[in-house]
Amino acid sequence: MPIRLVTYDPNEPGRDDSALFDAVKGYGPWAKLSESAYAVETSVSPEIMMEKIKKNIDPYDIVCIITLTSPYSVSGHEDLYDWLSRKL
């Protein structure tokens, strides 16, 4: 199943983004990459995901949804490396 990278950059720093990431996590197994980036395993297309996610953000916030593939590289996060190794 595809792994989608979801990154988020709020227009307003300090904004509560819990609803956004709850929506992302609802798509399936996920891993946190950083404070504002998640990898999620889902067959839902990036376009459909964006439609749902946009309901939880401000119009000027930046969200990117990208399909991950191998090869990849991870530093400083062994659990994430292991998760991606199993999924990709």
pLDDT tens digits for range 5-44: 999 988 777 777 788 888 888 999 999 998 889 999 999 9
63 vs 11, more confident: 63
Rounded to two decimals, the pTM is 0.85
Strand order from edge to edge, sheet including 37-41: 30-34, 37-41, 3-9, 62-68
Mean pLDDT of the chain: 89
Q: Apex CA 5: angle with CA 25 and CA 46, to 5°?
A: 85
pLDDT at 4: 96
Highest mean pLDDT: which range of 12-16, 55-59, 79-83: 79-83
Look up the CATH architecture of domain 3-87.
Answer: 2-Layer Sandwich (3.30)
* Residue 66: other Cβ atoms inside 10 A: 12
